[in-house]
Structure 1
Amino acid sequence: MQQTTLEKILFLDIETVPQEATIKKMPESLAHLWMDKLDTLKRRMPDRYDDDSSIDDLYRKEAGIYAEFGKIVCISVGIIYLKDGEKHCRVKSFFGHDEKTLLTEFSGMLLKFMQSAEYQLCGHNIKEFDVPYIARRMLINGLPLPDVLQVAGKKPWEVKFLDTLELWRFGDYKNYTSLKLLTAIFNIPTPKDDIDGSEVATVYYEHGDINRIAIYCQKDVVATIQVYLKLIGESIIQDKHIQLV
C-alpha cells in the first residue's frame, strides 16, 4: 500500500455507556423495553446472563452496547502522516456529556476529511459496532448522516470502511479476535493499560472522569493504527512519533 493512501485513512474508536446511571432513571417505556431485550438475551445466552446478577448490574454492564439504550461519550480519531520520510500519527478526541454536541463536531470533521472516494474509515470491528452505533445515535439525536455513514443501497465496494477484525479473519467468520490479542501477537505495546471496556460506565457515572475515558479511547486508536500497519506489511510507528491531543 502506498504511503499516500495511508494518509487518506481516518482511524476511529468509540466509547459508550448506558443512557442513565441506573435503570430506575430511564423513561418507563424504555425501561420496559430494556427488560424485554434482557429477557431475549438471557434466552439466547444463558451462560452469560446468570440469575445472580441484579437488574441494575446487568443494565450497567450491557445497555451501553446497544445504541437504543446507550450513548456515545467519546469518539477518538487518528491519522497517519509523513514527516522527514517517517510515519507519524496524530490522535484527538471528541468527548463530553452532551452527545449531540460531540456527534455534531465529529460529523463536521468527517465532512472535511472525506474529500473524495479514496478516503476511508478504519477501526476494529468498525462494521458491526462503531459505524452502526454512530449512525443510529446521530439519527436519534436528529442529526443528518454524513454520506460516508449512509450505507443503505450502496454496493460493497462503495462502502468506505476498513475493518482490522475483518482483515485478520481472511474469510474465517467463526471467531472474534480482540484488538488486545492482535497487539499481543504482533508485539505491539498493549493499549488500554488503565481501564477496559467493562469499566467505562463505572468510570463515567461513579467517578465522572471523562478525560480518563478519552485517553483510554485514544490508546485504542493508536493500537488500531499499529495493527493495520502490521496487516499490510508496514512497520509500526515509533512511540516518539505518536501525538495525542
Structure 2
Amino acid sequence: MTPMVEARERPLSLSYRRPADTVERAVLEEALDELRLQPQADLAEVGSGIGLGLLSLIFIGPLVLLAAWGLQFATGLSFGTDRTWTIAALLWLAVWGGAGVVRVVAKRARMTAAKRALAADIASEEVVEESWRFVEAIGYQEAEKLPLLYVLHADNGGAVAFEETKLIGRERVPGEAVFSAAPSDAVLVRGAKSGLLVSENYSGPPLPILEIHQLTLPREERPAHGTPLDRPWGAVSPWLTGKGRPSS
C-alpha cells in the first residue's frame, strides 16, 4: 500500500548569488565613495557632549554647592576647597566629552566595517538577488503618525521590513486616506557582504494591512528599508511594539 504523503506548495521566495552588472557595481562604488571620514562632524559630536555637560553643570552645579554649604553649616564638616570643586567640574565636563568620543569611535568602527564589506562586494563582483512572495502584511506607526513601517510575511516563513515613504516615493499628505502599499512580490538585489540594497522592484496587487500597531522601538534600532529580519514571525510584533522587552 502506497503511503499517503502530504503535498505542499514549494515556497516561491528564494535567493541566489549572481554576477553584478555595470549599474549594480556603480551603486556599490558610489556607496563606498560616500563613506568618508568627517572630522568636522566628529568634533561637533565631542563639542556637543561638552556643551551638554556644561549646560547640566550650570543648572545642577549651584544646587550641589547649595546642598554642600547647607551640610557644612549644619555639621561643620568641610566638603572640599574651591580647587577641589573646580577639579570636580572639569572631570564632569571630561566625562561628557568622553561620551562624545566614545560615540565617534563607535561610528568610525561601523564605517570601517561597512567600507570593508563594500570593498569585498566590489572585488567579488557579485550580488545577491532575492525573490520574495509575501502572504500577509502588518503595519507599525509611531504614536498614530504616518508613515507606516511595513513588515511583510513571506511564504518561506521569513519577514522583511519596508518603509512606506520609499515604497510610494513620497510623504503622505495630511488627511489622506490610508491605503496599503505593501507589495505581494518583490525582487531585491543587495551586496553579498555589505547587505546594501542595490535595487528593488515590486509587482502584484498590494496586500491588505491586517493590523496596525504602535511602533515603540527606538529609531536607531529599527530595521532599514528592505531588511530581512533575523527573528521568527511571531517575535516581530513584540520586538517592534516593546511588549516583549523588559521595562527599564
Calculate the TM-score normalised by the size of structure 2: 0.27
Which structure has greater helix proportion?
1
Larger Rg: 2
Which structure has greater strand proportion?
2
